[in-house]
A and B are shown apart, each in its own frame.
Chain A
């Protein structure tokens, strides 16, 4: 292994690179297949929503609070609106919030984390701000922001992003702190590579794998937070159906007409579960150290 051949010509050793292809991931973690399929179905439903679904806000007071039937698969709510159509449109909000929050939090956190980890004097400034943000309860911050600037999709996203960013910053910073001590990074510095290039060429690629995993967890928790905000009436305005506000509206009728809460609840639980399963599978594939322990 460590022994050089007597004539030191080039002798290729067999590549020991781990096969991280999609096929091998699915074979080793069959649950990821189910999680992934479920997620794809949810995304399809959300994208195709307007084409496949009935009108989610059409009122029909005569048919209010009808249990699930052949006409209304998921029943109707207290204004006679089609719960199935509302759940389908809710998927659009949920997934949009989840994916956007994950994307924004990762990009913002990555930039700040790289700077905090590499530029010594900015480190303590950025990290103290992040500590401050982490000290504020996420839901409270969201409620405050939304009541200040009105409940729109954008404010909801911003309100959920802010408490997620410090977690990403911490993750990226810790990776940067350990990688910057690697001799190959020092060798690059010693051969005159400029700092931004050192960061992007040698350090950033090491953060990608943990970031992808973190992004899935952020996506899941953002969908939950959005639903919580909707449920307590601080989220997306009620005229746009989201899983949270559908459940909120169904709360009063829970004992008589449980389907109003049941179906959006199941949709939310399944979607978050699917995202987390995919996240676990990615973590096992991208971080073999944890995988081996499990």
Chain B
């Protein structure tokens, strides 16, 4: 049976075969190659996770395969990218355009920016059919509806005429997937498709990708930085570092018996979902407490119209000296609003915020000033948290000098603090752009400590960092809490991170605290259904990540 053997042959051949791929970086970059001598394959019906930290070259690899890199800056100089036996690097732009969408398709990280905001989602899917396939408008619409049903979108008939802003993040990502799959490509490249999504949505999208992959039998190259996601979805894993492939193998192999130190370090740095035992906390009077804290954004206009968002409802919390309270929730849960109300970057609508017993919620800026020293905050984005025009030293001593501490004294303390956070005191004269993300976050912690605060609020302070750096900064936060006997409010969306550092956890949903208790109890016996949902959605079975 020649036909059957031909099919078997096609089945055996990998969908994607990358061999010795090297791509140069433009002159003046920190290394000569973006990716260097990268080889891996993706077979039919297989999900291959390419995992690495920022700057590892994983996205460049994906974009090179799609032919989406600007060839002037990033030039492939060696190797082959074989898609079903044809070398993509030898294709002209026109040939690549014909292949994109039809044989290979890509989904991106940001479902909002990857969709055209002024075009109906149905038309955006139809556009791909219009370009690649000749069919009538009615047939096209039928195919679009079919594609939307395929990605489990509710009520495609209704949604086909919606604009992207009318859909949720998860729905938009489903639209992106429907777009990618409408021509039934044999290779799907997914570049961090769930990174911008909440955990519960992420779990659904991962399920969907897995499900569709089995149904269509295509090959999936899944780019991610998250080992939890890898454990959830991968058949095989390719680990990249600084543009090179460090290790590859089946998911069992790589996660349970990693050969390379780097892989072991990465997996070890993934925080475990099992909270470690923590020392007792002196439960005297709380340093920070709130009562009936409410925040309503927006107000009714003159004519009684306008949108009102109830971001925080009746929030009550207490943090004692030397204790870390975790505040966990998805985007829009109001956790950052609570932090900003406590630091008084926004004014609470009503309720009390007490620092050592004094209510600061209704104070004027002038009355508030002496209390500013007591509460300090570390933000999420290390690249925007320091004024790029001022030296690190200037940034650190700004606060103390506001409270009439002499410049020399403030600088002396800044030098001490730089050592506390693990940086050289000589770095005070440098500008923020000379530091990496993790180093900048250390500087931000030093800046907060310079005020000698009683309360430290970490608002997603480790969320933007690579796992290896994340673990270090997390440890630093825990160290300074102990050393300076701080009350810490730790805000995060990441249940793994929260498990490692918090004494108690409060879970927020839609501005309401739905559950609150000691970390070990909340993780072992969650009471509220939403907490259970969050814990179930956390990617990656825990057996792989018992580290730290």
| Partner among B365, B399, B431, B442 whose Cβ is within 8 Å of the Cβ of A8 | B442
With A2-B466, A13-B30 as known contacts, state yes or no: A189 contacts B53, CB within 8 Å.
no
Q: Does B534 contact A (CB under 8 A)?
A: no
Residues on B with C-beta less than 8 A from A186 are 345, 377, 379
B465→A2 contact, CB < 8 A: yes
Chain A 158-202, CB-CB to B under 8 Å as 1, else 0, gives 000000000000000000000000111011111111110000011
B439→A191 contact, CB < 8 A: no
Compute how far the CA of A274 lies from the CA of B197 in the bound complex, rounded to whole angstroms.
51
With A8-B472, A183-B385 as known contacts, state yes or no: A192 contacts B399, CB within 8 Å.
yes
Name which residue of chain A comes closest to B396, CB basis.
Answer: A191
Residues 14 to 67 of chain B near chain A (Cβ within 8 Å):
30, 53-55
Residues on A with C-beta less than 8 A from B439 are 4, 8, 10
Q: Does B434 contact A (CB under 8 A)?
A: yes
Residues 180 to 235 of chain A near chain B (Cβ within 8 Å):
182-184, 186-195, 201-202, 205
B414 to chain A, nearest CB (A): 13
Q: Does B548 contact A (CB under 8 A)?
A: no
Compute how far the CA of A11 lies from the CA of B469 in the bound complex, rounded to whole angstroms.
15
B4 to chain A, nearest CB (A): 50
| Partner among A16, A183, A194 whose Cβ is within 8 Å of the Cβ of B402 | A194
A183→B55 contact, CB < 8 A: no
B398→A193 contact, CB < 8 A: yes
Residues on A with C-beta less than 8 A from B451 are 191
With A184-B386, A186-B379, A191-B399 as known contacts, state yes or no: A17 contacts B437, CB within 8 Å.
no
A4→B472 contact, CB < 8 A: yes
B372→A187 contact, CB < 8 A: no
A2→B376 contact, CB < 8 A: no
Q: Does B384 contact A (CB under 8 A)?
A: yes
Name which residue of chain A comes closest to B372, CB basis.
Answer: A192
Stretch at the interface among B138-146, B421-429, B518-526: B421-429
A12→B345 contact, CB < 8 A: no
Chain B 435-451, CB-CB to A under 8 Å as 1, else 0, gives 11111001010010001
B469→A187 contact, CB < 8 A: no
Q: Does A70 contact B (CB under 8 A)?
A: no
A202→B435 contact, CB < 8 A: no
B434→A12 contact, CB < 8 A: yes
Q: Does B253 contact A (CB under 8 A)?
A: no
B423→A4 contact, CB < 8 A: no
Residues on B with C-beta less than 8 A from A189 are 345
Compute how far the CA of A193 lies from the CA of B431 in the bound complex, rounded to whole angstroms.
20
| Partner among A3, A16, A193, A205 whose Cβ is within 8 Å of the Cβ of B55 | A3
Q: Does B71 contact A (CB under 8 A)?
A: no
With A4-B472, A16-B433 as known contacts, state yes or no: A192 contacts B403, CB within 8 Å.
yes
Residues on A with C-beta less than 8 A from B427 are 10
B406 to chain A, nearest CB (A): 16
A119 to chain B, nearest CB (A): 12
Compute how far the CA of A251 lies from the CA of B220 in the bound complex, rounded to whole angstroms.
75
Name which residue of chain B comes closest to A2, CB basis.
Answer: B54
Compute how far the CA of A195 lies from the CA of B372 in the bound complex, rounded to whole angstroms.
14
With A10-B426, A13-B30, A192-B403 as known contacts, state yes or no: A3 contacts B384, CB within 8 Å.
no
A4→B372 contact, CB < 8 A: no
| Partner among B387, B390, B395, B436 whose Cβ is within 8 Å of the Cβ of A4 | B436
| Partner among A10, A11, A17, A182 whose Cβ is within 8 Å of the Cβ of B433 | A17
B433→A193 contact, CB < 8 A: no
Residues on B with C-beta less than 8 A from A17 are 431, 433
Q: Does B82 contact A (CB under 8 A)?
A: no
| Partner among B53, B343, B365, B403 whose Cβ is within 8 Å of the Cβ of A2 | B53
Interface CB pairs A-B, < 8 A, 5:
A2-B465, A8-B438, A9-B422, A186-B345, A188-B398
The 7 A-B residue pairs with the shortest CB-CB distance in the complex, in nearest-first order: A191-B399, A1-B55, A10-B424, A192-B372, A183-B379, A2-B54, A4-B438
Residues of A whose CB lies within 8 Å of any CB of B are: 1-4, 8-17, 182-184, 186-195, 201-202, 205
